[in-house]
Structure 1
Amino acid sequence: MAPDGVVVDMMSLENKRRGTTVLWSWSLGHYADVGGQQLWIDVLEETLKHGVAPVSWTDYLYLTVGGTLSNAGISGETFRYGPQISNVYEMDVITGTGDFLTCSPDKNPELFYSVLGGLGQFGIITRARIALGQAPKRVKWVRMLYSDFSDFTIDQESLISHHGRDQDEALDYVEGSLLMHRNSDSWTSFFSLSDRQRLMSLVTEHELLYCIEVAKFYDGRTQTTVDKALEIILKDLSHVPEFMFEKDVAYVDFLNRVRVEELKLRRQGLWNVPHPWLNLFVPKSRIADFNTGVFNNIVLKKNITTGLVLIYPMNNDKWDDRMSAVIPDEDVFYTVGFLHSSGFEDWQEFDLQNKEVLLFCENNGIKVKQYLPNYNTEREWMEHFGSKWRTFQESKAQFDPKMLLSPGQRIFNHN
């Protein structure tokens, strides 16, 4: 996990540091002080006792707060509320120099902005102060199918453009995915058994389908208006007629939806296996080229992709450029996630496909950025961080000059 380095078991802080405390102030409203070792599922359960919850999530909740804040923390809420790193007021950090510092935009700001999205290179987050909002009770959860990629992206971009804070006019969650015969195990469970045959016929007809998945949250106050609001938001979309599917589920069940799949895979012995993932941020201006070159000419032809493939847009203005996290330089960009699961014998096959995808982007001038990046050389890391590289280096010299937190990722240790 970290050759010649140290792996910190954050859960060992459980009995020594704080858990989750919900507080309120005139300036911030509701917020939570959360131990860096806390799992997001535990944060959710504690905040819900007070009728509030974080507004930005990851799709999987059994991750630590410190871990996701060291990367960005993204999901279908990001277009509206920003990544999780955009919803932090303050942190306690143990730096590579052994200092225990509290940081915020006003106090030790260099550390604050470096650590958020900083890949754990500057310190270990032991506490984070997280923004909270009123917790909804239930969710209208809708999926719509597309056979035309252009219609799919136009509709997604339209849906995320209504990201003002007016609850009635905007969705709370927008994601998308790639549907094929080969990866049908990863997406059919949402649909009823009676619908699956129609779906598989449509997949057979088109080979590639695209799915927009949206959610609108509601509570007792909006229960009578949510259906009408959702109807207005979705009324002019270009999905395949008769292929719109809706569920009404509890808010917790929606947020924790991946857990159901995890437990199923655990029972089948298919969870603790290699996961040769590739997560990319793709500029909006090149997403059609990406579809042609990658989805049609690599993924479909190789026919090895069995896991979920996510494709959904985000708004650049919901990110803070002072933070270490790196995104494309366009107002709208897509996250594309190849969430492969492999056997222990064939992980190299997926790894080679990932390399082919990256090579295609490089050869065609598609300026993608890796999310959860993995590079082997300093030059590659310099290209990844771009204009942020010098700041990243300066922060390293200030907060971890002996490079105690470097081995494993090979950002500053290349052997």
Structure 2
Amino acid sequence: MSNLGNLPPNILSKLSRDSNVIIESSKDFGKVVLEKFPDGVYFPTSVNDIIDLIKFSYDLSVPFHIAARGHGHSIRGQAMAQNGLIVEMNSLNNNNENCGIRIYSDSNLGFYADVGGEQLWIDVLNATIERDLAPVSWTDYLYLTVGGTLSNAGISGQTFRYGPQINNVLEMDVITGKGELVTCSKDMNSELFFAVLGGLGQFGIIIRARIVLQKAPKRVKWVRMLYDDFSKFTKDQEHLISIDGLDYVEGSLMLEQSSINNWRSSFFSPSNQTKIASLLSQNEIMYCLEMVKYYDDHTSNTIDEELKKLVKGLNYLPGFIFNKDTTFVEFLDRVRSGELELQSKGLWDVPHPWLNLFVPKSNIMDFNVAVFKDIILKQKKTTGSILVYPTCRKRYSHNLFRCTKYFAFAFKGFV
């Protein structure tokens, strides 16, 4: 093995050099970066195994590259380690002594869960919902590791209210580049805490995260409204995140060349799809505002009236408002069905480039003309998901933004 020195037996025993294993661990969701193969794949069974590996590398005159791999959902090869070692974090699930998912209640902190960095968010949801609890902020896709999303940010339609997932972490255990296991929070080893959250995996490996929980709702009212005017669309989004009452606000572009029910969720009925297709043939590009309100048994009698008040005065196209009633879990896990459908068609393994941008409010109208209309629409560049949703600076505790209000854009193509 090149550049790795003489690995001790305790590390070698958990290392695979099988070419098939190496190839599989060198894939990611983006499928853009290829052939960055490691010299081996490491399968730890305990936190100490990872500490031993990093300490060994750190003590070498020339340390080798180590990359922690969760669910492999990176898009630019971030979880690859050319000529180094990949650490398969999901291997920790094989040892019951590791953190896993543990739920607690504290008089000061309220409800929280201590969660292993290797755990998938869908498993966190399933474990907490058994106690009628749930984290407050999510990503649209739940088959991602806790450590992976916290190393990025974790942004979705709840961000305007609760901030990204990194805002809802109370404490972490992190293995640093020296192989030290450090507990950190905003008050203890805070420099490491804020560096690791959103640090793209460059400041340490997240072993445990303490996640804020709250009482979980039972069901959701899921509403979509269509617009042919981008200015009205964005103004209504801004209005909805400025008032109390909603739990999720997102939005998307609808293009004539795209599927009306895209792979991320099946929402519109066949009759509504026909109605929308007719409208798209006239406009070519439309904007879909999406909002959700949670409810439970205590509010089931008033939820419809509350929604009427929330949409009153919005400038969507008359007759083009649609709603769906589903369970809280089904809503959060809505992308899974689309994933399974793509897998059945052999389309989940194709390149999935994804770009996230934060665009200031002052430039949003120009962005619509220059990108959405002059590039995506005119050149028919993509048929994938294009998400458009608002967020507020005040919900970001990491001082990431200086402008008062931003719109977050996510782009999905070649699906």
Question: What is the TM-score with the length of structure 2 in the denominator?
Answer: 0.78
Q: Identify the residue that residue 294 of structure 1 maps to in structure 2.
A: 371
In the alignment, structure 1 residue 70 sits paired with structure 2 residue 151: yes
Q: Identify the residue that residue 254 of structure 2 maps to in structure 1.
A: 179
Q: Identify the residue that residue 52 of structure 1 maps to in structure 2.
A: 133
Q: Distance in 2 between matches of 1:305 and 1:210?
A: 16
Could you list the structure 1 runs, at least 4 aligned residues long, displaced by more than 6 angstroms after superposition.
none
Q: Distance in 2 between matches of 1:18 and 1:183?
A: 43
Q: How far 1:5 sits from its partner (Å)?
A: 4.0
Q: Distance in 2 between matches of 1:207 and 1:301?
A: 10
Q: Secondary structure at the match of 1:240?
A: coil
Q: Identify the residue that residue 411 of structure 2 maps to in structure 1.
A: 338
Equivalent residue in structure 2 for 1:218, among 295, 319, 322:
295
In the alignment, structure 1 residue 147 sits paired with structure 2 residue 228: yes
Report the residue type matching 2:367 in the other structure: F
Unaligned 5+ runs, structure 2: 1-76
Could you tell me whether the CA contact under 8 Å between 1:182 and 1:304 is conserved in 2?
no
In the alignment, structure 1 residue 92 sits paired with structure 2 residue 167: no
Q: Secondary structure at the match of 1:34?
A: strand
Q: Distance in 2 between matches of 1:93 and 1:234?
A: 44
Could you tell me whether the CA contact under 8 Å between 1:95 and 1:123 is conserved in 2?
yes
Q: What does 1:177-216 align with in structure 2 at a 5 Å threshold?
A: 177-184=252-259, 186-187=261-262, 189-216=266-293
Q: What does 1:294-313 align with in structure 2 at a 5 Å threshold?
A: 294-313=371-390
In the alignment, structure 1 residue 13 sits paired with structure 2 residue 92: yes
Q: Distance in 2 between matches of 1:81 and 1:234?
A: 21
Question: What is the TM-score with the length of structure 1 in the denominator?
Answer: 0.78
Between Structure 1 and Structure 2, the one with more helix by share is 1
Q: Secondary structure at the match of 2:131?
A: coil
Q: Identify the residue that residue 40 of structure 1 maps to in structure 2.
A: 121
Q: Secondary structure at the match of 1:282?
A: strand
Q: How far 1:7 sits from its partner (Å)?
A: 2.7
Q: Identify the residue that residue 232 of structure 1 maps to in structure 2.
A: 309
Q: Distance in 2 between matches of 1:331 and 1:247?
A: 33
Sequence identity (%)? 56
Could you tell me whether the CA contact under 8 Å between 2:343 and 2:349 is conserved in 1?
yes
Could you tell me whether the CA contact under 8 Å between 1:21 and 1:34 is conserved in 2?
yes
| CA displacement, residues 360-400 of structure 1 (integer Å, 9 cap, x when unaligned) | xxxxxxxxxxxxxxxxxxxxxxxxxxxxxxxxxxxxxxxxx
Q: Secondary structure at the match of 1:13?
A: helix
Report the residue type matching 2:386 in the other structure: V
Q: Secondary structure at the match of 2:298?
A: coil
Give the root-mean-square deviation of aligned CA atoms.
Answer: 1.2
Report the residue type matching 1:201 in the other structure: S
Could you tell me whether the CA contact under 8 Å between 1:92 and 1:125 is conserved in 2?
yes
Q: How far 1:203 sits from its partner (Å)?
A: 0.6
Q: How far 1:304 sits from its partner (Å)?
A: 2.7
Unaligned 5+ runs, structure 1: 163-168, 343-415
Q: Identify the residue that residue 3 of structure 2 maps to in structure 1.
A: none
Q: How far 1:189 sits from its partner (Å)?
A: 3.1
| CA displacement, residues 289-325 of structure 1 (integer Å, 9 cap, x when unaligned) | 0000001100011113110000000011000135xxx
Q: What does 1:122-133 align with in structure 2 at a 5 Å threshold?
A: 122-133=203-214
Q: Identify the residue that residue 19 of structure 2 maps to in structure 1.
A: none
| CA displacement, residues 43-80 of structure 1 (integer Å, 9 cap, x when unaligned) | 00000111100000000000000000000001000000
Q: Distance in 2 between matches of 1:305 and 1:185?
A: 14
Q: How far 1:229 sits from its partner (Å)?
A: 1.2
Q: How far 1:224 sits from its partner (Å)?
A: 1.2
Of structures 1 and 2, the one with the larger relative CO (CA 8 A, separation 6+) is: 1
Could you tell me whether the CA contact under 8 Å between 1:30 and 1:133 is conserved in 2?
yes
Report the residue type matching 1:271 in the other structure: W
Q: How far 1:185 sits from its partner (Å)?
A: 5.3
Larger-Rg structure:
2
Q: Secondary structure at the match of 1:292?
A: helix
Q: Distance in 2 between matches of 1:292 and 1:76?
A: 24
Q: How many residues align?
A: 332
| CA displacement, residues 222-249 of structure 1 (integer Å, 9 cap, x when unaligned) | 1111111111111110000000000000
Q: Secondary structure at the match of 2:86?
A: coil
Q: How far 1:186 sits from its partner (Å)?
A: 5.0
| CA displacement, residues 177-223 of structure 1 (integer Å, 9 cap, x when unaligned) | 00002222553831000111110011111111000010000011111
Q: Distance in 1 between matches of 2:350 and 2:190?
A: 40
Q: What does 1:372-411 align with in structure 2 at a 5 Å threshold?
A: none
10-19 or 31-40: bigger deviation: 10-19
72-81 or 295-304: bigger deviation: 295-304
Could you tell me whether the CA contact under 8 Å between 1:140 and 1:217 is conserved in 2?
yes
Could you tell me whether the CA contact under 8 Å between 2:254 and 2:260 is conserved in 1?
no
Could you tell me whether the CA contact under 8 Å between 2:260 and 2:277 is conserved in 1?
no
Q: What does 1:278-289 align with in structure 2 at a 5 Å threshold?
A: 278-289=355-366
Could you tell me whether the CA contact under 8 Å between 2:261 and 2:268 is conserved in 1?
no
